Amino acid sequence: MRIVSYNVRYFGHALKGLASTARAKARIAEAICHLQPNADIVCLQEVEHGSLRSGVAHRGALTGDTQLDAFMRHLDRAYQEAGRVLPYRAFYYPAHVYRLGALKLYTTGLAILINARTLHVVGHNQLEPKSVTSYGQTLVKAIKQTRIVAHLHLETANGRRLHVFNTHLSLPSPFTKTFWKRGPRFGHGLNQLEEARVVTSYISSVCQSEPYVLCGDFNALPASPVYRYFTGEAGMRGAQESLKQIDPLVPDLFPTAGFLRLRMHLDHLFAGPGVEWMDLEGTCSFDDSKSPFCGLSDHVPLIANFTVG
């Protein structure tokens, strides 16, 4: 099976995240469409529901369509132009809304697309995604983004069950003394480690002994306490580490995100027992100009093939 995990920055990278554009949706849709072979699972982070930011920069703004609806139309068009039929079924998981009165300024959320030709949906938490937010200081609770875990319970064509979890963890809290110490910060926040533990606890309660994959933007470097928690105490296996694409002790060699001249490795693919990583074909570092996803977001996708059972 093939999985893609991608922070799409609300499809607004062309405008520095200020507003979503139709062109951004179309280019990302084309890049996903042209993956060969097709992905069976596509996990997206930073996907809006519907707001001023998600619709103001193109026609059709504020018509009631969600951002995921609009993206799926672009993906469908990309498949039509390629002479193929769109295979995906999309699920949206709302996380947070920033309002000014009744007006939604912008929203946050996750999405999972599954290839309906290869996978059957057994269950999901779309209507009530699991909150994993660590609020820390009560002073920031009113403005703190809610962080969630999106879940799909799937069955393959040969009857094997698989759980897919998609998440986007918080940044390290600036309201702690450790944040202001010199040295790396991503993945070193106590609030981040607390969220990682909630994610793992939720996975354990849902999966029992069935295989699973966990992916997303963890805002954590490979050498950080958060990453070491997932691959140590939680017993998961990072795809890039398992397949020798990265050395966790040298986290700067394979950046997955960039801001100005800053490069960071923040995105990860993890697997529990019963899942074996096979390869990372199509995964490129942030500055690789040969990647079809180069310049489309402030992150690049992680793409991996794996077996279940």
Mean pLDDT over 155-177 rounds to: 88
Number of domains forming the structure of the chain: 1
Domain around 147: 2-308
pLDDT at residue 179 tops 80? no
pLDDT at residue 180 tops 60? no
pLDDT at residue 28 tops 50? yes
Q: Which amino acid is at 180?
A: W
Mean confidence (pLDDT) of the chain: 89
- What CATH number does residue 133 fall under? 3.60.10.10
Residue 95's pLDDT band (boundaries 50, 70, 90)?
A: confident
**CA–CA dist 119, 160 (Å, integer):** 10
Mean pLDDT over 32-43 rounds to: 96
Which pLDDT tens digit goes with each residue over 201-251?
Answer: 999 999 989 999 999 999 999 999 999 999 999 999 999 999 999 999 887
Residue 252's pLDDT band (boundaries 50, 70, 90)?
A: confident
pLDDT at residue 6 tops 50? yes
Look at residue 178 in the predicted model and tell me its pLDDT. 63
Instruction: Give the E-state strand segments of the chain in sequence order.
Output: 2-7, 41-45, 88-100, 103-115, 119-124, 130-131, 148-156, 161-168, 212-217, 237-238, 257-259, 262-264, 267-271, 275-279, 302-308
**CA–CA dist 202, 132 (Å, integer):** 9
Model pTM above 0.85: yes
pLDDT at residue 53 tops 80? no
Residue 62's pLDDT band (boundaries 50, 70, 90)?
A: very low
Look at residue 61 in the predicted model and tell me its pLDDT. 46
- SS3 of residue 239 by DSSP: helix
- Between the CA of residue 187 and those of 108, 169, 171, 222, 262, what are the distances in Å? 21, 9, 8, 8, 16
- Between the CA of residue 307 and those of 15, 40, 100, 183, 267, what are the distances in Å? 39, 12, 47, 38, 21
Which residues are CB-neighbours of 296 under 8 A, at least 6 positions away? 8, 13, 24, 27, 28, 31
Residue 248, preceding bond cis, omega within 30 degrees? no
